[in-house]
Structure 1
Amino acid sequence: MSNRRSALQSDPAATSEAPPSSSRGATREQVDTAVRSGLLSGKFIPGKSVTIRGLATELGVSPMPVREVLQRLAAENALEVKPNGRVQVPDMTPERFDEILTARLLLEPELAVLSLPHLTRNDAKDLQIIDDNIDERLTSGDAEAYMRLNHDFHFRIYGASKSSVLLPLIDSLWLQFAPFMRTVYGRVGTAILEDRHKEAIRAIEQQDKDGLRAAIAADISDGMGLLGRDILSSS
């Protein structure tokens, strides 16, 4: 992006014209992808604010698409805009945590079951590769990589549903809890983390609805549920 910006600045004719709408749309999509990725991997920390201009500078874009993306994410409760115009990840409270956890337990096991008829043994093999990489990151203590791969694992399953209702809701929930869980992993490390991914993979191979539903529910309860509640109760 930096090369493109330099070229525009060196060409008076280019700077006097607004970029095509398709270019603005592409930039907004790139910003959206970058910010969502940052939220999901824990690069944005609860309580630590950023400015629109600062984030735009970091991403190498103008403030306008950044403002649009942040406003959209604020509407999803993933971010909040402070009265001074700064933007931050909302602080996690026990009440908010319990609501997000309850919503995940209600929605994600059911979406996994909806996805099951569309998942094949090849998908199970791909999920196994992702899970092997997750195991490596748990051992090495790379929390950000673990979070990215864990998201990839779950949404490889959920995405097969092609749901236009449940999938966006679950995506929004992940944006809301991921930054908090990154602080949790920063305190307790990753070596103690356990998941139910292998049970989920086996259920997919066997087309076992009940098994997949139980594996996803247990993965959420044993992962986010136990660790998150322990940290909140000790704060």
Structure 2
Amino acid sequence: MRPIAKENLSERAYAQLRSALMHGQLKPGERLLLRPMSERFGISATPMREALLRLVSEKALALDARGTVVVPTLTLEQLLEIRSIRLDLEGRAAAEAARIASNEAITELEEIHARISECHRTGAFARAVNLNTAFHLQLCESGKLPIVLEIVERLWVRCGPILSHLYDAGVPDWEPHPHLRIIAALRARDPEGARAGIQEDIERGGKGLLDHVRSAREED
């Protein structure tokens, strides 16, 4: 039973680190020292080391010159490439969701967006960032394309450390919000409408991230 228990701890550490990255709880350039990270997440050193190295192998984390695990700084070229891939894959998943998503899944997306709108109204932008992530991944999941979902999740993990800058440019002034266009397209079983809605959201909604990365490069 010991190997199974160890594997479960490693999986738990991996899942918690992945979630922390995806939700912006770990910042670019942050050094992830083994002992403090183990204490922070309440997991012993060995499974934490395995989880860290697994994320290094997935390019979600990196090793510096001293061999210390660090949160990588996303370059403008990387962000643009990630955005291009997301336009394709999330667009494909949204189109498929318009064909097959259940009414319950669509209602869940409506509820997530309603909570995002409330966060915008109250200025709870950190919460809005997390809910926006949930909306995108839930939409992908509704398309029932598991390989696409796996790839998209990895892309969100890599972008996660800069997502706190999503609203640097303010709340986008658009009417209707692309999320509402997507939901309407899902209800109407309109694949191309759903694809266009999520692609607009990715392109226009990600302006704050692009501006942040461009600004950081100019400062360097």
Q: Which TM-score tier does this pair reach, normalised by the shorter chain?
A: 0.7 to 0.9
Quote the offset at 1:184 in angstroms: 4.8
Report the CA distance shift for 1:158/1:232 in structure 2 as closer, same or farther (over 3 A): same
Structure-2 separation of matches of 1:112 and 1:35: 27
Report the CA distance shift for 1:92/1:217 in structure 2 as closer, same or farther (over 3 A): same
Stretches of structure 2 lacking an aligned partner (at least 5 in a row): none
Task: Provide TM-score, normalisation by structure 2.
Answer: 0.88
The answer to whether the Cα contact below 8 Å between 1:47 and 1:90 also exists between their aligned partners in 2 is yes
User: Is 2:208 the counterpart of 1:227?
Assistant: yes
Q: Which residue of 1 aligns with 2:128?
A: 146
Identity %: 28
The answer to whether the Cα contact below 8 Å between 2:98 and 2:185 also exists between their aligned partners in 1 is no
Root-mean-square deviation (CA, aligned residues, Å) is 2.0
Structure-1 separation of matches of 2:173 and 2:24: 17
Determine helix, strand or coil for the equivalent of 2:105.
helix
Report the CA distance shift for 1:113/1:177 in structure 2 as closer, same or farther (over 3 A): same
Structure-2 separation of matches of 1:58 and 1:105: 35
Determine helix, strand or coil for the equivalent of 1:50.
coil
Report the CA distance shift for 1:85/1:163 in structure 2 as closer, same or farther (over 3 A): same
Which of 109, 119, 123 aligns to 1:137? It is 119
Letter matched to residue 230 of structure 1: D
Quote the offset at 1:183 in angstroms: 3.8
Quote the offset at 1:34 in angstroms: 1.4
Equivalent pairs, count: 214
Q: After TM superposition, which residue ranges in structure 1, 4 or more long, deviate above 6 angstroms?
A: none
Report the CA distance shift for 1:217/1:189 in structure 2 as closer, same or farther (over 3 A): closer
Structure-2 separation of matches of 1:23 and 1:133: 38
Structure-2 separation of matches of 1:136 and 1:122: 21
Q: Deviations over 1:208-233 (max 9, x none)?
A: 00100000100100111x22222233
Q: Deviations over 1:63-104 (max 9, x none)?
A: 111111112212222111223232222112211111111111
Structure-1 separation of matches of 2:173 and 2:116: 11
Summarize the alignment of residues 71-90 of structure 1 with structure 2, pairs less than 5 Å apart: 71-90=53-72
Q: Which residue of 2 aligns with 1:174?
A: 156
Structure-1 separation of matches of 2:154 and 2:61: 11
Larger of the two Rg values belongs to structure: 1
The answer to whether the Cα contact below 8 Å between 2:165 and 2:212 also exists between their aligned partners in 1 is no
The answer to whether the Cα contact below 8 Å between 1:120 and 1:205 also exists between their aligned partners in 2 is no
